[in-house]
Chain A
């Protein structure tokens, strides 16, 4: 009877274990809260300082010139749009084809090697990629939006390739078998069955890569930096970009420029957040679609 009654009573040892448990739980919770709070603080401070300078003119007008009020950063928005769009146009097909090769055609050993190469490429500091493109494209020609796009495409390529590969891995083997059993070749199976089944995931990866590339500053420093107050959509010209503009404006002695830098930062951060949320939604949708097959 004494044995039966003794197990429920808290011994000092149990009390200590409970205390340690509580402490660790509290530490982990605080760490998680700090991470969220950091994001919140960044967003709030950028909102507070950037919002006053945001207006329609800010997006549609060219800069007013040093010291003058009004005007906007249309040159930078147009430039970033062109540079990132062209970069995505380069990186998307190459990245998707790379992923298709890895998941559908490559022998296992080669697949591992290429996957490692992609991960290494992903880890290369973006300034190094900027210097590289400067060396091969800019020295022989000139700075241009295209050179900037090329540098950003190098950054996007491993992101798109790896995320696409992950989605292709989720496509059930049974779908491939079903197609092969009809007497359909590998390539037609890829185009007709596997790509349509994974298109949502591919778009997700692309959106994330676009979000990442849109905020890259260093690769554009060497390849497409410019302080030109006019709006142009021609990628053969050097193009202004949003991240570099933020950098330049923040170094300006004009307080109006500082406000513009905050506003540009707000625009950039909103774009990246939207792109991330959108890609999340697309991923969830494509998972649901494929989940029914699995």
Chain B
């Protein structure tokens, strides 16, 4: 009963903020013909679509379809893989992230990322959050900044009495919220979530999902997930990645199959491959 109410509440929030009028949707990422290769294998080929401000965009698809590669090309984490080669453009707020004069370190400062497995630093809870801003020279009002970030991540009430404790003493779900707080503390514009709940139990997962609903008011969020129910619960728009048919050399690569409002993807997908995936017949 209470579950239904929450769900209805959530849907209302989603609908209120979705504001379907496309004129109000400001483009944050304009992805144009993005192809990423590792050595000789093509991870994703020719992906083009737009990601909008203050929406949650989910990336779904079977394993090995290049989801992770895609989300990591949005903040140039792929640069850390020596063999990775990127073609095409990721235009972020009017400028291609892969332009020569763009520093990937600066890119990641504005486009934060939370990873699949909670990875807090082996430092205190406070220092986990404060370290990023400190390094980036945002020293003023540090205590308030740390508190604000922890509040945004819905962790403050649980840790306010033990900020000096080692972050590794927290539970898995708390650690992941700490990682979200850490990412928020440097005030990014975009938050990329790489399967943020896949290592967590259902209760912790639900806490993270609630959090995502809160955060989209202030941030643009891209979330990668294996869990279709999760995509349906949190995302305004969903893109479905899959593997292409074998090409002339027998190679398959990740492609974007369909991108639309989440509701449409899950109820009336226009591509039969999407339908096969969301109904569980494939993948």
The total of chain A residues at the interface (CB under 8 A) is 23
Q: Which residues of chain A come closer than 8 Å to B77, judged between CB atoms? A: 177, 180-181
One digit per residue, 1 when the CB lies within 8 angstroms of any chain B CB and 0 when it does not, for chain A 172-212 equals 10111111111111001000110011000000000000000
**Is A290 part of the contact surface with B, judged by Cβ < 8 Å?**
yes
**Is A3 part of the contact surface with B, judged by Cβ < 8 Å?**
no
Q: Which residues of chain A come closer than 8 Å to B117, judged between CB atoms? A: 174
Q: Which of A175, A181, A185 contacts B121 (CB 8 A)?
A: A175
**Is B99 part of the contact surface with A, judged by Cβ < 8 Å?**
no
The complex places the Cα of A196 from the Cα of B80 at a distance, in Å, of 22
Q: Which of B43-51, B179-187, B200-208 contacts A (4 or more CB under 8 A)?
A: B179-187
Q: Which of A172, A174, A183, A193 contacts B186 (CB 8 A)?
A: A183
A-contacting residues, B92-123, CB 8 Å: 105-110, 112-115, 117, 119-123
B108 and A183: CB pair below 8 A?
yes
B119 and A174: CB pair below 8 A?
yes
Q: Classify chain B's interface size.
A: 20 to 34
With known contacts A174-B117, A188-B135, A192-B131, A181–B75 Cβ distance under 8 A:
yes
The complex places the Cα of A293 from the Cα of B123 at a distance, in Å, of 11
Give the residue among A177, A178, A185 with the most B Cβ atoms within 10 A. A178
A-contacting residues, B28-87, CB 8 Å: 75, 77, 80, 82
A289 and B80: CB pair below 8 A?
no
**Is B88 part of the contact surface with A, judged by Cβ < 8 Å?**
no
**Is A292 part of the contact surface with B, judged by Cβ < 8 Å?**
yes
Q: Which of B112, B119, B182 contacts A172 (CB 8 A)?
A: B119
With known contacts A184-B132, A192-B131, A196-B123, A178–B115 Cβ distance under 8 A:
yes
With known contacts A180-B77, A181-B75, A182-B132, A290–B112 Cβ distance under 8 A:
no
The complex places the Cα of A192 from the Cα of B179 at a distance, in Å, of 17
Q: Which residues of chain A come closer than 8 Å to B112, judged between CB atoms? A: 181-182
Closest chain B residue, CB of each to CB of A191 = B135
Q: Which residues of chain B come closer than 8 Å to A184, judged between CB atoms? A: 105, 132, 135-136
**Is B168 part of the contact surface with A, judged by Cβ < 8 Å?**
yes
Interface residues of B (CB under 8 A from A): 75, 77, 80, 82, 105-110, 112-115, 117, 119-123, 131-132, 135-136, 168, 179, 182-183, 186
Other contacts beyond A176-B80, A192-B131, A293-B119: 9, CB < 8 A:
A174-B119, A177-B80, A179-B121, A180-B108, A181-B108, A184-B105, A289-B122, A290-B122, A292-B168
10 A-B contacts (beta carbon < 8 Å)? A174-B117, A175-B119, A177-B115, A180-B105, A181-B108, A181-B114, A182-B182, A183-B109, A184-B132, A197-B121
Interface residues of A (CB under 8 A from B): 108, 172, 174-185, 188, 192-193, 196-197, 289-290, 292-293
